Structure 1
């Protein structure tokens, strides 16, 4: 069965059903967060004071892993002939795990402080003017994640093609993350590709440990493949290593999906309320009811506003099927006033007309209520 959009992202932060374990760990998590925040300040000062050298960068990377509770396991080895590594997208700290163990740099458009980006092994894509940079510097490989955004790991999104004209040999990398209590990434309606997910990063501080597993797969050569074919070969290799499905969704579709579902749910709720008002006030047009509900957000207030004449509208013409006369039929127990259809000139007449309309609406609503519930009431 193919995965749907809502199955590819985590909407809830917490995972599992053992609430007792979470509550027992909560005090320890708060203490651990405070200690890691202090360590983050040390990391920030060190990144400013220490020179930008290879040994220093490795030290800062280690401190960053301690700060965020990141433990990395590597399976396989990096191919020294490959300057480009292609991986799936799992969390905002994938770049840190890869930089710490594989010595890579990652391209991002995130708006983050320079010291923070350098510590996580992030470079701005605008810094690389020429694509030949990747092939000219094989000692510093580049990690690319063409999915464009994080998923929960149940499927692999379509890769964008922009990364694959870079070089003719790439190495796929399959990334998985395990942690207790919480999910590593949670999708929010306002997620943007150029904004760093700070909230996800803060949960790394609270979690006891996040275990990253990086599986370096055999390198793939382009041969005579086009960009699209080569991208699919790399994607298939990563999916096989992760044992997940290939999907035809892009990150833009996944990112837009929750917003569309929330909008549809809100519209459905609005129409449910509007139908409830329509049952009470059948002569009021549905579009006027919806418009008023958008302002009041209350069924009772909306009904009151229409009954008291605070909202103007043009009554709908209701088709009434008159029953055939019968001698055995009981006389009506309630009478509905009939509007005159003319606009009174004086204020006194207009007030009387309003009272008639109000009485008509109440009588119609009462009639429908009695008929709907099968009540026997003598009027």
Structure 2
């Protein structure tokens, strides 16, 4: 089943199973926040007074990782022939993780202090000149994250944010992130590409450690592909390495649609749930609402309930009078999935025909139409 918008974004910061563990850790987290804030001041002063040398930049990168509690694991080998890397987008500190282990420069449109951008390995995309960069420092590859904005890592957005035409040989990078207790990225109405998400960065400071995994994939060559085909090849390579789906969403659509879903969730879900309840009266309303929150579709939710993908405990229904005993009864899912495609298709068609006949019978009884039920 295709991912819906609400599956690609995190609304809430807390993600742990046990809230008491998080509350027990909170005093230590606040102490860690104070210590790392002081360390950030040291980092700021050092970035101003120290010369711009490669050894100094590496030291500042290490100090920045300590400040934000970032630990980076790498897998794979960097291709020295690739001056451009393309990766997915999962957090505001992807650039720091990649810069620390790969020495990359990440392009952003954020309006942040120069020392902060330099420490995180960020270059402003609007002021970036590709030819000049490769003439000055050809050993530092550029990391592009053309999704345009972060997701929770469950799917890959469309690649739309290209600051310049990419070359004929590009190395894909698959980035994942793990953390205890809290989600790394949370979407808000004020999210924008040119604003650094300071609230997300603040949670790095009070979290014991955030583990980034950077997987370097084999380089992809363009050959005779046009830009669209080459982009699709890069997306497919990264999605396959991450074991996630390719989605048709752009980041702007994700942000806008995600906010719309959250605002309209309550009234819309109840209206849709009532429609499902009319077809499947034995299913508890809470189970219907829970599945509708992810599908946003009456048909898909009915199918999930019938197929057993959305488990529930049937409500006991009083037997109707003999005169009004329905000819068709909606089956309760058995949990047995047919082995062959032919059996699955037949099973689906039988259920579909039975549901249509049952709905027709209810309509005839409700409006008192003089139509024989045997024709249903």
> What TM-score do you get using the length of structure 1 for normalisation?
0.68
* Contact 1:178–1:210 (Cα < 8 Å) also in 2: yes
* Structural mapping, 1:1-379, within 5 Å: 1-130=1-130, 133-134=133-134, 137-160=137-160, 162=162, 165-265=165-265
For the residues of structure 1 that align with 2:128 and 2:77, how far apart are their CA atoms?
A: 26
Deviates more, 1:219-228 or 1:157-166: 157-166
* Contact 1:179–1:209 (Cα < 8 Å) also in 2: yes
For the residues of structure 1 that align with 2:51 and 2:214, how far apart are their CA atoms?
A: 29
* Contact 2:125–2:163 (Cα < 8 Å) also in 1: no
1:232 deviation in Å? Answer: 0.5
- Secondary structure of the 2:229 match is helix
* Contact 1:81–1:138 (Cα < 8 Å) also in 2: no
- Secondary structure of the 1:177 match is strand
For the residues of structure 1 that align with 2:126 and 2:12, how far apart are their CA atoms?
A: 34
1:254-298 superposed Cα distances (whole Å, 9 cap, x missing partner) = 0101322244358879x9xxxxxxxxxxxxxxxxxxxxxxxxxxx
1:126 deviation in Å? Answer: 2.1
* Contact 2:69–2:209 (Cα < 8 Å) also in 1: yes
Aligned residues between the structures: 270
1:128 deviation in Å? Answer: 1.9
1:186-220 superposed Cα distances (whole Å, 9 cap, x missing partner) = 01111011000000000000100000000000001
* Contact 1:5–1:257 (Cα < 8 Å) also in 2: yes
1:129 deviation in Å? Answer: 3.1
The change in CA–CA distance for 1:241 and 1:134 in structure 2 (over 3 A counts) is: farther
1:28-62 superposed Cα distances (whole Å, 9 cap, x missing partner) = 11111110001000000000000011001000000
For the residues of structure 2 that align with 1:135 and 1:48, how far apart are their CA atoms?
A: 25
* Contact 1:14–1:182 (Cα < 8 Å) also in 2: yes
The change in CA–CA distance for 1:17 and 1:163 in structure 2 (over 3 A counts) is: same
Q: 5+ unaligned residues in a row in structure 2: which ranges?
A: 272-376
1:301-359 superposed Cα distances (whole Å, 9 cap, x missing partner) = xxxxxxxxxxxxxxxxxxxxxxxxxxxxxxxxxxxxxxxxxxxxxxxxxxxxxxxxxxx
For the residues of structure 1 that align with 2:229 and 2:161, how far apart are their CA atoms?
A: 10
* Contact 1:110–1:194 (Cα < 8 Å) also in 2: yes
* Contact 1:87–1:174 (Cα < 8 Å) also in 2: yes
Q: 5+ unaligned residues in a row in structure 1: which ranges?
A: 272-379
* Contact 2:148–2:161 (Cα < 8 Å) also in 1: no
The change in CA–CA distance for 1:221 and 1:268 in structure 2 (over 3 A counts) is: closer
* Contact 2:147–2:250 (Cα < 8 Å) also in 1: yes
For the residues of structure 2 that align with 1:132 and 1:214, how far apart are their CA atoms?
A: 27
* Contact 2:147–2:161 (Cα < 8 Å) also in 1: no
* Contact 1:95–1:120 (Cα < 8 Å) also in 2: yes
